[in-house]
């Protein structure tokens, strides 16, 4: 017996609404999907904001379209859940109404608040060593970036006191949407962990860390599991979404957690390379660990028995979108772009690109860093620039994977998902750059939504354990590295890594006041 469910993948520039059939035999099967876009407000002071009302409106429009086009009756939908961007700050009043636009995970304006707390006293890697040790003891990780949620919360306190005074709770993106759907304010453990205020041993918010940082614990929501039912759809919310009142609403999880689940990377050592608007290398590990040098940490995931060891890059597929929009003068679609660059050799005739288009997080945290084309000459073609951008993203993923392997042994075959993984050409470049076999899964663009649907299979008792998900995630293609191409990338890899070190001061001189 199978049931139909809907999951929402809440991204930085748009929302995907996907319908799945889930069952014990054929657990997760993608049926149909709709997408809807919304605005990302990039401010001059380093702020990056979104309007939570836009998320809900996108949910409503896309859900109604999905049901209409699929011909599925609203009563057939037996549950909804979420895969969402995280480390977002939504300040709400007692009724769950946002008091200001949400501060995105990309928001970098809280540098003053971060340094005020973390750059005092005796330092290691620029951070207060005693506070680092306290973080490590309680959370297993450290808040090492001004983009982390606590500092954005404090930015509101310092700069918008009238809004702060009205604040009842501080929610993440998914938590705001489940609140609007059910009236309940609950945070899944993986989202709570990403605030770096969650005590992983005691399974609760840390009073000690909140006091150290300056967080009012009354503003923090209750904790739940990712497979938990938050509540049921309220009549008004159901009407706006076009769904049946009383439909169960499950918590779901962060995009990092659920993309790994949807890719089948649920066993220790499994590696997911994800390239959407942003990107990351996530490895499933069996213990908490923090690499402060490379700014990679293990976070609680949706599976209570494992952790996600996550190395992030701020812009990934967004770089590919940028180069197409800026350099393409012929109105090419992505297939035509690939055709245009297909004969460009590995290494793009000497051109190298750094994909730090909105700063970077790992293995260095610098909001001032930017994209850079290096080693142009008078023979450089547009095709060289386009391919160099793809290669730059892949080279950064290799850097993140290398850093990961200084701490954990990883599976030799990696899974590659996200919008970039739709193109076989990009998949092959990724395999060539990494020097590893790369697998893709069915519907790689919907991998996070797939993970949320798979969790509902566990929630509804169709699967006994999250680890059972691996056996029902289908591999769609395998790419083996070309030895000659890998050698070319290995030659330029040290040069790529030196681009940041050699230009760090210049980035600061040009961009310090913009971030």
- pLDDT 10s digits, 97-114: 999 999 999 899 999 999
Q: Are 403 and 311 in contact (CB under 8 A)?
A: yes
Please indicate, yes or no, if residue 8 is contained in any of the structural domains: yes
Please indicate, yes or no, if residue 369 is contained in any of the structural domains: no
CATH code of the domain covering residue 191: 3.30.420.40
Range of the domain at 8: 2-251
Q: Are 55 and 15 in contact (CB under 8 A)?
A: yes
pLDDT at 123: 84
Task: Check residue 121 and give left, alpha or beta (phi > 0: left; psi -120 to 50: alpha).
Answer: left
Query: 483-511 and 382-404 are packed helices; what angle lies between their axes, rounded to 10 degrees?
Result: 90
Please indicate, yes or no, if residue 325 is contained in any of the structural domains: no
Q: Are 450 and 20 in contact (CB under 8 A)?
A: yes
Please indicate, yes or no, if residue 166 is contained in any of the structural domains: yes
Distance CA 350, CA 378 (A): 12
pLDDT at 464: 87
Phi and psi angles of residue 60, each rounded to the nearest 5 degrees, phi first: -65, -50
And the tokens for 209?
């860390």
Phi and psi angles of residue 210, each rounded to the nearest 5 degrees, phi first: -60, -40
Phi and psi angles of residue 420, each rounded to the nearest 5 degrees, phi first: -65, -30
And the tokens for 71?
């011909």
Place of tokens 């973080």: 135
Please indicate, yes or no, if residue 491 is contained in any of the structural domains: no
3-state secondary structure 293-321: CCCEEEEECCCCCCEEEEEEECCCHHHHH
* Secondary structure letter of residue 345 according to DSSP: P
The per-residue DSSP string of 449-472 comes to: HHHHHHHHHHHTTSSS-GGGGGGG
Please indicate, yes or no, if residue 221 is contained in any of the structural domains: yes
Distance CA 352, CA 397 (A): 15
384 CA to centre of own chain: 29
Distance CA 15, CA 185 (A): 21
What is the full per-residue pLDDT of the chain (515 aa) written as tens digits? 789 999 999 988 899 999 999 987 777 889 999 999 999 999 999 999 999 999 999 999 999 999 999 999 999 999 999 999 999 999 999 999 999 999 999 899 999 999 999 998 888 778 899 999 999 999 988 898 899 999 999 999 999 999 999 999 999 999 999 999 999 999 999 999 999 999 999 999 999 999 999 999 999 999 999 999 999 999 999 999 999 999 999 999 998 899 999 999 999 999 999 998 889 999 999 998 989 889 898 989 999 899 999 999 989 999 998 998 887 666 778 888 899 999 999 999 999 999 999 899 899 989 899 999 999 999 999 999 999 999 999 999 999 999 999 999 999 999 999 999 999 999 999 999 999 999 999 889 899 999 999 999 999 989 888 998 888 888 999 999 999 999 999 999 999 999 999 999 999 999 987 64
And the tokens for 152?
């954005």
Which parts of 405-440 fold into alpha helices (H)? 424-434
Distance CA 287, CA 284 (A): 9
Domain total in the chain: 1
First to last CA, the chain: 53
Instruction: Give Cβ neighbours of residue 341 (< 8 Å, ≥ 6 apart).
Output: 383, 386, 387, 390, 425
pLDDT at 329: 64
408 vs 43, 184, 284, 396, 507, CA distance in Å? 38, 38, 10, 18, 32
β-pairing verdict for 90-92 and 41-42: unpaired
pTM: 0.87
The per-residue DSSP string of 25-88 comes to: SS-EEEEEEEEEE---EE-TTS-EEE-HHHHHHHHHHHHHHHHHHHT--GGGEEEEEEEE--S-
Distance CA 229, CA 249 (A): 6
And the tokens for 45?
């002071």
Please indicate, yes or no, if residue 36 is contained in any of the structural domains: yes
Please indicate, yes or no, if residue 148 is contained in any of the structural domains: yes
Distance CA 325, CA 228 (A): 42
And the tokens for 366?
């610098």
């Amino acid at each position: 017996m199978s049931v139909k469910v809907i999951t929402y993948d809440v991204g930085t520039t748009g929302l995907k609404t996907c319908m799945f059939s889930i069952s014990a035999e054929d657990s997760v099967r993608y049926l149909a999907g709709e997408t809807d876009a919304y605005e990302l407000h990039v401010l001059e002071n380093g702020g990056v904001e979104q309007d939570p009302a836009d998320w809900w409106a996108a949910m409503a429009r896309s859900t109604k379209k999905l049901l209409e086009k699929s011909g599925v009756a609203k009563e057939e939908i037996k549950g909804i859940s979420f895969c969402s961007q995280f480390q977002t700050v939504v300040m709400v009043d007692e009724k769950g109404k946002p008091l200001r636009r949400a501060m995105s995970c990309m928001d970098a304006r809280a540098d003053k608040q971060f340094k005020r707390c973390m750059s005092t006293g005796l330092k290691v890697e620029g951070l207060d060593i005693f506070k680092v040790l306290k973080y490590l003891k309680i959370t297993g990780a450290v808040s090492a970036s001004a983009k982390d949620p606590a500092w954005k919360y404090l930015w509101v306190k310092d700069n918008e006191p009238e809004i702060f005074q009205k604040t009842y709770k501080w929610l993440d993106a998914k938590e705001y949407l489940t609140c609007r759907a059910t009236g309940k304010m609950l945070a899944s453990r993986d989202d709570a962990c990403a605030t770096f205020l969650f005590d992983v041993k005691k399974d609760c918010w840390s009073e000690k860390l909140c006091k150290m940082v300056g967080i009012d614990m009354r503003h923090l929501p209750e904790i739940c599991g990712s497979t938990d039912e938050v509540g049921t759809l309220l009549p008004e919310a159901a009407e706006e979404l076009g769904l049946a009142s009383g439909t169960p609403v499950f918590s779901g999880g962060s995009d990092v957690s659920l993309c790994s689940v949807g890719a089948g990377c649920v066993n220790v050592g499994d590696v997911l390379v994800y390239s959407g608007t942003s990107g990351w290398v996530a490895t499933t590990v069996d213990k908490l660990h923090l690499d402060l040098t490379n700014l990679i940490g293990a976070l609680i995931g949706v599976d209570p028995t494992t952790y996600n060891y996550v190395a992030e890059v701020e812009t990934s597929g967004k770089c590919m979108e940028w180069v197409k929009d800026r350099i393409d003068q012929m109105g090419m679609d992505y297939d035509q772009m690939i055709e245009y660059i297909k004969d460009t050799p590995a290494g793009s005739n000497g051109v190298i690109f750094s994909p730090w288009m909105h700063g970077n997080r790992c293995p260095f945290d610098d909001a001032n860093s930017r994209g850079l084309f290096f080693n142009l000459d008078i023979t450089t073609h547009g095709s060289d620039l386009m391919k160099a951008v793809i290669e730059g993203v892949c080279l950064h993923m290799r850097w993140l994977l290398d850093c990961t392997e200084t701490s954990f042994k990883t599976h030799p075959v990696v899974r590659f998902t996200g919008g970039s993984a739709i193109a076989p050409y990009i998949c092959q470049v990724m395999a060539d750059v990494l020097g590893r076999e790369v697998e893709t899964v069915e519907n790689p663009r919907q991998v996070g939504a797939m993970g949320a649907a798979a969790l509902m299979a566990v929630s509804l008792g169709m699967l006994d354990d999250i680890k059972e998900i691996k056996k029902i995630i289908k591999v769609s293609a395998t790419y083996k590295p070309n030895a000659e191409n890998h050698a070319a990338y290995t030659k330029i890899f040290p040069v790529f890594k030196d681009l940041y070190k050699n230009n760090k001061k210049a980035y600061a001189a040009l961009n310090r006041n913009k971030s």
